[in-house]
Amino acid sequence: MRKKVTVVGAGNVGATLAQRLAERDSADVVLVDVPQTEGMPAGKALDISQAGPIDGYDSRITGAVDYGPTKGSDIVVITAGIPRKPGMSRDDLLNTNAGIVKSVSERIAEASPQTILIIVSNPLDAMCHVALRTTGFPRNRVIGMAGVLDSARFACFLAEELHVSVEEIRPMVLGGHGDTMVPITRYTTCAGVPVTELLEKGRLDAIVQRTRDGGAEIVKLLKTGSAYYAPSAAAARMVDSILMDKNRILPCSVFLEGEYGFKDIFLGVPVKLGAEGAGPVMELRLHEEEKAALAKSAASVQELVAVLKKSGVVSS
């Protein structure tokens, strides 16, 4: 029997992810959106299906406005939520998207109680907390797509600066998915050489800042939307590692229970992704300034979670 991956949210991120997954031909895909969208998810699913004979994949793509077809999904990726608009921070999205993610999580837990959840909705780390508390899933089955995207942006800018293939860059980004993320330059390499030895500090600091502003830069340029090509690629890489039990070490937002000195919080760290979801966390030895930056990032996430607890969206 083929594996099944459900993508909740048929907007730009969700539909592009569904296409990427179909092209991999490793699972059937269900694309779900709210009833108000009527035939939209079915139309997109049919369009993706009709590309199969051209690109040579047999994945079955189903579009739906209910959760019946999602039953028994091996992985569910939640992309649902309102996108960030110009001038809007991820924090501004908190209340609206928390309600959406909570509702979706309830339905997914009922339809696919053994599934692994990948959260893409923003503000990401806080939305992971909502999904975990709503579903009651163990921590290995709720994972946020954060560091894979942030690291890709970091690698893109570094490769451009160094005039090398992106395949030569091995980036490392920790922390929350937002303005306080922590690119770790000491652990970021080009052909095995730390980038701190290849670029002068001022230039490297500028690239780090551009990485932190990566999503906002795209929002500003698009004016009417937010990034979706790179986020969907990042989510697809995570799906691959889980479906194929590849056990890749990827930077993802996971629920920490003492790792890096933090508890009861989702934060981006290197983690092994395999058939059971999130495996062991890889703990890097950090310098004091890196620890301080990570603590600042964690505090930013904790502030959002505190707001959610106060509003009753999640339990204390």
What is the rounded distance in angstroms from the CA atom of residue 242 to the CA atom of residue 277?
A: 6
Tally of domains within the chain: 2
Residues 157 and 300 in one domain: yes
Q: Is residue 164 part of a domain?
A: yes
Query: What CATH number has the domain bearing residue 17?
Result: 3.40.50.720
Best CA proximity match to 208, nearest among 234, 193, 186, 233: 186
Residues 41 and 93 in one domain: yes
98-to-14, 112, 135, 178, 287 alpha-carbon distances in Å: 18, 20, 14, 16, 34
Q: Is residue 314 part of a domain?
A: no
Q: Is residue 291 part of a domain?
A: yes
Q: Is residue 276 part of a domain?
A: yes
Q: What's residue 92's pLDDT?
A: 67
Q: Is residue 316 part of a domain?
A: no
Q: Residue 213's domain spans which residues? A: 147-309
The predicted-structure confidence for 41-64, as pLDDT tens digits, reads as follows 999 999 999 999 999 999 999 999
Residues 258 and 123 in one domain: no
Q: Is residue 116 part of a domain?
A: yes
Residues 55 and 160 in one domain: no
Q: Is residue 315 part of a domain?
A: no
128-to-136, 150, 199 alpha-carbon distances in Å: 12, 17, 35
Q: What's residue 236's pLDDT?
A: 98
Of the three residues 98, 124, 144, the one that is the final residue of a domain is 144
Burial class (CB in 10 A: 0-12, 13-18, 19+), 192: exposed
Residues 161 and 299 in one domain: yes
204-to-28, 148, 161, 188, 270 alpha-carbon distances in Å: 42, 20, 9, 11, 22
Residues 11 and 78 in one domain: yes
Of the three residues 115, 144, 173, the one that is the final residue of a domain is 144
Residues 54 and 155 in one domain: no
Residues 116 and 153 in one domain: no
What does the pLDDT average to over 28-35? 96
- Catalytic residue (one of 129, 163, 177, 287): 177
Query: What CATH number has the domain bearing residue 234?
Result: 3.90.110.10
Element (H, E) at 30: strand 27-32
What is the rounded distance in angstroms from the CA atom of residue 123 to the CA atom of residue 129?
A: 10
Q: With contact defined as beta carbons under 8 Å apart, do 7 and 14 qualify?
A: yes
Residues 140 and 191 in one domain: no
129 in catalytic set: no
Q: What's residue 313's pLDDT?
A: 83
Q: With contact defined as beta carbons under 8 Å apart, do 143 and 125 qualify?
A: no
Q: Is residue 197 part of a domain?
A: yes
Residues 177 and 214 in one domain: yes
What is the rounded distance in angstroms from the CA atom of residue 46 to the CA atom of residue 226?
A: 25
On the question of pLDDT at 314 being above 90, the answer is no
What is the rounded distance in angstroms from the CA atom of residue 129 to the CA atom of residue 255?
A: 8
Residues 287 and 216 in one domain: yes
91-to-8, 132, 177 alpha-carbon distances in Å: 21, 19, 11
What is the rounded distance in angstroms from the CA atom of residue 180 to the CA atom of residue 178?
A: 5
Q: What is the mean pLDDT of the chain?
A: 95
pTM of the predicted protein model: 0.95
Residues 153 and 300 in one domain: yes
Of the three residues 126, 144, 162, the one that is the final residue of a domain is 144
Q: Name the pLDDT band for 143 (thresholds 50, 70, 90).
A: very high
